[in-house]
C-alpha cells in the first residue's frame, strides 16, 4: 500500500473520500473541479484510494500530489489489487483526519456544488450522523433506472431505512460513526440501514446527477441485482444478531 502526504496530527472539519478504480479518463477533472468549488474556505482534505487500478489512474494521481493546488490537499492510498468500493472507502476513512467524511465517486457524476447543502444539515442543534444524497433527474438508461428503483423499493420495504436512493455516491457521515459499522463487500449500499441500526439519525437531501465523464459502470444490471439480493439477506442477519451499546 502506497501512502502519500499524510499528517495525522492535524484535525480537519471534513475529509472528502473518493474510491477510484480505472478512472484515468475522469479522475484529474473530478479533483480539479472539486478543489475549485471547495476553494480555501473550510478546513478539509481529499483522500483518494486507488483500488488497484490497471490503467493510468495511479500515474495521474502520483503526478497530481506533487503539483499545486493539490500539494497539501490531496492524499493518495493505493491498494495492491482491487478490493471493492466498500473496502476502499474504509481504507480512506482510516487515513482521514476530518471529523466528518464526505463520500463521492470518481467518475464525475457527483456535483461538488451540492456538498455545501449536505454540510449545512450538520450545523443543526441535533445533527444527523448521516446525510444521504438523493439523486434527481437521473441520467441512467431506462433499464438501469428501473433496476435501481426496484432495488431501492425492495430494500426500503425490508429494512425500513428511510432512504430512497442508497446507491448515490454522495454521503456525509461522522467518521466515528462510520468506523463503528461492520465492513463487508457491498456495505456502501447499506449505510442508512446500518447507521440506524447503531442508534443514529439520518437525513436526506436532493443532489444532482450527471453523466459519467468517461468509462463505464463497473456493474451490470443482473450482476448488481444478484449481489444486492444476497447483501440484503446478510444485512437482515446482521440486524437480527447486532446489539449496539446504549449510551
Domains and CATH numbers, the chain: 2-241 (3.90.550.10)
Calculate mean pLDDT across residues 9-28.
Answer: 92
Determine how β-strand 2-4 pairs with β-strand 74-78: antiparallel
Convert the pLDDT of each residue in 159-170 to its tens digit: 878 888 988 999
Angle of helix 221-241 relative to helix 142-159, nearest 10 degrees, comes to: 10
**d(Cα 175, Cα 179) in Å, to the nearest integer?**
6
Are residues 194 and 174 in contact, defined by beta-carbon separation less than 8 angstroms?
no
Window from 97-111, 160-174, 198-212, 226-240 with minimum mean pLDDT: 226-240
Window from 21-30, 46-55, 120-129 with minimum mean pLDDT: 120-129
Calculate mean pLDDT across residues 79-106.
Answer: 97
**d(Cα 144, Cα 131) in Å, to the nearest integer?**
24
**pLDDT above 80 (res 5):** no
Percent of residues, the chain, with pLDDT higher than 70: 82
**d(Cα 149, Cα 164) in Å, to the nearest integer?**
8
SS (H, E, C) 111-180: CHHHHHHHHHHCCCCCCCCEEEEEECCCCCCHHHHHHHHHHHHHHHHHHCCCCCCCCCCCEEEEHHHHHH
pLDDT of residue 234: 77
Preceding peptide of 55 cis, ω within 30°:
no
**d(Cα 3, Cα 60) in Å, to the nearest integer?**
15
**d(Cα 139, Cα 75) in Å, to the nearest integer?**
30
Is the overall model pTM greater than 0.75, yes or no?
Answer: yes
Convert the pLDDT of each residue in 37-75 to its tens digit: 999 877 999 999 999 999 999 999 999 999 988 988 999
Residue 85, number of CB atoms within 10 A of its CB:
22
pLDDT of residue 160: 76
Amino acid at each position: 500500500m502506497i501512502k502519500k502526504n499524510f499528517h495525522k496530527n492535524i484535525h480537519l472539519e471534513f475529509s472528502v473520500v473518493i474510491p477510484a478504480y480505472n478512472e484515468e479518463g475522469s479522475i484529474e477533472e473530478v479533483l480539479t473541479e472539486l478543489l475549485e468549488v471547495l476553494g480555501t474556505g473550510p478546513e478539509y482534505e481529499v483522500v483518494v484510494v486507488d483500488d488497484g487500478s490497471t490503467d493510468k489512474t495511479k500515474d495521474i494521481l502520483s503526478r497530481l500530489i506533487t503539483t499545486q493546488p493539490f500539494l497539501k490537499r490531496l492524499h493518495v492510498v493505493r491498494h495492491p489489487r482491487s478490493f471493492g468500493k466498500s473496502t476502499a472507502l474504509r481504507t480512506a476513512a482510516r487515513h482521514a483526519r476530518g471529523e466528518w467524511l464526505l463520500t463521492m465517486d470518481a467518475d464525475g457524476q457527483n456535483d461538488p456544488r451540492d456538498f455545501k447543502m449536505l454540510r449545512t444539515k450538520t450545523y443543526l442543534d441535533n445533527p444527523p450522523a448521516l446525510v444521504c444524497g438523493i439523486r434527481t433527474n437521473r441520467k441512467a438508461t431506462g433499464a438501469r433506472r428501473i433496476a435501481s428503483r426496484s432495488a431501492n423499493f425492495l430494500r426500503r420495504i425490508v429494512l425500513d431505512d428511510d432512504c430512497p436512493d442508497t446507491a448515490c455516491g454522495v454521503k456525509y457521515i461522522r467518521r466515528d460513526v462510520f468506523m463503528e459499522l461492520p465492513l463487508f463487500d457491498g456495505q456502501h449500499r447499506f449505510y442508512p440501514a446500518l447507521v440506524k441500526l447503531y442508534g443514529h439519525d439520518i437525513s436526506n437531501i436532493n443532489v444532482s446527477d450527471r453523466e459519467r465523464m468517461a468509462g463505464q459502470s463497473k456493474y451490470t444490471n443482473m450482476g448488481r441485482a444478484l449481489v444486492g439480493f444476497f447483501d440484503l439477506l446478510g444485512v437482515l442477519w446482521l440486524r437480527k444478531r447486532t446489539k449496539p451499546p446504549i449510551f
